[in-house]
Amino acid sequence: MSSPFEGKVIQRKADGYDGYAHQYASSTLKDAMKPAMILYAIDDDDVIKAIQFAHGSKVIPPRAISIRSGGHHYVGASSTSGNNMTVDLSFAYNDFVWKDSDYTLVKVGVGHSLAKLNNLLKGAGRFVPHGQCSYVYVGGHCQSGGYGQFIRSFGLMVDYIQKYRLITADGQIIKVRRDSEDPDMRALFYALAGGSPGNFGVVTHVTLKVLRDQDYRKSYGYRCEAKYSRGLLEELLNYVIKMDIDNRSADYDLGITFGSTHEERGSVSTIVVFAQWANLWGPIDCDQSFFQGIRDICKDHILLTDDGNPRVMDNSLPLSELSSHWLFPIAREFEYPFIKRSYVTSESGDYLNAQGWANWASGRIDEIESAKTRTCYISSQFQYTGGRGSCCTRSAMKTNGLDDRTSISWRDSTFLFSADIFYKPEGEQTAMYWQQKNDNDAIQMKKFSTQDRRYIWAPNSPEDVDLIAARKFFFDSDDKFDRLVAIKNRVDPNGLFTPNKFCVTSPAVFNGPLPSRTQAPPPLHLIRGTVPSGKVEIPSLKGSKFMTRVTAKL
C-alpha cells in the first residue's frame, strides 16, 4: 500500500470547504468550482500521489485534476467540479535559486506571488516583465503570457523562460528546455508557453533569464492617482493613441487604469497613470516632453495622501524599483459577481482616432459612473502594446526558421482595453446590458477592432467557459490550435489534466472528432481510457499533515 498524502486534504463535506474552494471567479461561477477534494501538496511526492490516486479511482466519470497556484483565472480554469479534484501548489514550490554567478538566471517555484517574485528580484537589481496583480501567482502567469507594464520595452514573461520543470500525466519529472535538441521537447515548451495553462502537466518551477538594472541606466517612471472625470479620462486615452501616431520608440510604455469608488474603503473613483522610459539603446536621456504631456493633463486632478502630499511618483529609478510601483497591492477589486471583457486590436492610432474611440470609451465608463444609484462598479485598463520596435511583437519572431518559441496568439496587437463590471444583485441587468452594448460597439461596429480577439488569461467571463467552442477568438490560426491539440494528445492522451471546458483538449475527451470552428461541440464527457491496475491509498484528513491557509486564494 502506498504512503499517505502528506499535505492537507479538504473534501467537499469538510467544514470550511467553501473557503478553500474559493477562487477569483467564485463570485460569478461558484457552482462550476466545487472539486470533490482539494489537495494541498507539499512536494513532488504529494503531486505524484495525487496523479496516482486520480488514475486509480473507480468513479464514473473518471477523476481529472485541476492545478492551482494563485487561483486568479477569470473563468475558474484552475478549478473544477464533479468527481474531479484540485491540486494546490502554493505550499509546495516556494524556492528561489540563482543559477549563475551573474545573477541573470534564476529558478523560481510556482508558489510565488508576483509581488514576492518582484521583491526577490529587486533585491539583486534584477527584473523581468510580469503583470500588475500582486496576488497572481507564477504558476498560471508563466503559462499564459505574463502581460504587464513592460510589454513594449521587454515583451512578456514567457519570452524569458528558459526551462519548465514538469510532472507529467504518468508521474514523471522532466525538464522542458527552450533550446532542447529534441523537437518533441521544443514542441512541449511551445505548448506550455501560452497554449492552455495547467493542461499539459504540472509545472513546478520555471528558470528565468532576468534583466539587469545596470544595462538600462537613467530609466524613468511616472505614476499618479487622479480623481476621475470623463474629460480627464478621454484626454488620457487620446494621449495613449498619440503614442502610436507619434511613432514612439519601444522603450516608452503607458497604461491607464480606472477604478470606481469603493464605499467600504472610503475611496473615490480614480484614474491611475503608469508611464515609464526604459532606455533600451544606451547612454541617452529620456524625452521629458512625453512625461510633461501627462503632467499637464493630470495636474489639476491629482489626489492627495492623508498627509496632504500629491499621490505622484515622478523619478529616475532603476527598472527593478519601477516595477514594484506598477503592482496593485490588492487581491481583487470588488467583492461582487462580475462580467469581464478584454478587447484587443491590431488597428492603428489613426484608426482609433477616426472612430472616436477615446470619446466612446470614456462615455461608456461615464454611463455607469454618472448613475444616480450605485449598483455597479468598474475596473478598466487601457494600454498601448504595439508600435515601433515593440517587444510584444518582436520577441515572438522565429529564431531558427522552424519554431515559434511561444504559443501566445495575437502578438501583433497594438492596443488593449479591458472593461470589467462588478454588480450588486439589483445591478445585474444593468451590467449585462452595459457589456452587450460594449461588445456591439467595440467589435460589431468596429470602434476598437475589426476582429474579435481574446487572450487565454483574460476570457470573457462568465461566457467563455468552453475554449473549444470559442477557439477562433483565442488562437490566431487553426494550425496553431491543431498543433496544440496534437501535443496535448501526446502528453496527456486520457485527459487527466482536462478538468473543465476551458482547456486545449485531446480528441480522447470527445465522443468523435473535434468540432469545426463554426460547429458547437458536443457535451464534454471525459473518457480517460483504461484505469491502471493497483490500489492507490485514498488521502484522508486524519492522515494528512495540517497546514492552514495563510489567506484565501483569489
Q: What are the extents of the domains in the chain?
A: 96-214, 219-308+325-444
CA distances from 327 to 223, 277, 344, 381, 425 (A): 11, 17, 22, 13, 30
Contacts of 142 by beta carbon, 8 Å cutoff, 6+ apart:
110, 157, 158, 161, 164, 203, 206
Q: Mean per-residue pLDDT for 207-231? A: 97
What's the rounded Cα separation, in Å, for the pair 452 and 474? 9
In sequence order, which ranges of 262-338 are alpha helices (DSSP H)? 288-298, 319-325
Question: Band of the pLDDT at 333, cuts 50, 70, 90?
Answer: confident
| Buried residues in 523-548 as b, exposed as e (16+ CB within 10 A) | ebebebeeeeeeebeebeeeebeeee
Per-residue DSSP letters for 25-58? THHHHGGG---SEEEE--SHHHHHHHHHHHHH--
pLDDT of residue 543: 35
The count of C-alpha atoms lying within 13 angstroms of the C-alpha of 294, restricted to the half-sphere facing its C-beta, is 28
Residue 512 confidence (pLDDT): 40
More confident residue, 431 or 57: 431
**Dmax of the chain from CA atoms?**
71
> Distance between CA 510 and CA 526 in Å, rounded?
7
Span of 16-25, 261-270, 343-352, 509-518 with lowest mean pLDDT: 509-518
Cα–Cα distance, 285 to 278 (Å, whole number): 10
* pLDDT at residue 209 in the model: 97
d(CA 446, CA 264) in angstroms, rounded, equals 37
Is the pLDDT at 144 greater than 80? The verdict is: yes
pLDDT for 228 beyond 90: yes
The neighbour count for residue 173, using CB atoms within 10 Å, is: 14
d(C-alpha 111, C-alpha 124), whole Å: 20
With 80 as the cut, is the pLDDT of residue 194 above it?
yes
Rounded Cα–Cα distance for residues 83 and 66 (Å): 11
- Determine the Cα–Cα distance for residues 159 and 11; give it in Å rounded to an integer: 38
Is the C-alpha dihedral spanning 544, 547, 549, 553 positive or negative? negative
pLDDT greater than 50 at residue 20: yes
Mean of the per-residue pLDDT values for the chain?
87
Categorize the per-residue pLDDT at 283 as very low, low, confident or very high, splitting at 50, 70 and 90: confident
pLDDT value for 521: 32
Strand partners, 38: 10, 86
Question: Where does the pLDDT of residue 301 fall: very low under 50, low under 70, confident under 90, or very high at 90 and above?
Answer: very high
Pick the closest to residue 63 from 77, 81, 88 (CA basis). Answer: 81
pLDDT band at 517 (very low <50, low <70, confident <90, very high): very low
Section 483-491 average pLDDT:
95
Distances (CA, A) of 77 to 29, 131, 186, 486: 11, 18, 25, 21
Cis amide leading into 61 (omega within 30): yes
pLDDT of 26: 74
C-alpha distances out from residue 275 to 66, 154, 252, 518, Å: 37, 14, 7, 41
Cα distance between residue 138 and residue 157, in whole Å: 10
Q: What is the average per-residue pLDDT within 227-251?
A: 98
Mean pLDDT calculated for residue range 245-271: 90
pLDDT > 70? residue 420: yes
- Mean pLDDT confidence for 172-185: 96
Least confident of 22-31, 287-296, 433-442: 22-31
Instruction: Provide the CATH topology of domain 96-214.
Output: 3.30.465
Pick 219-308+325-444's CATH classification: 3.40.462.20, 3.40.50.1000, 3.40.350.10, 3.30.530.20: 3.40.462.20
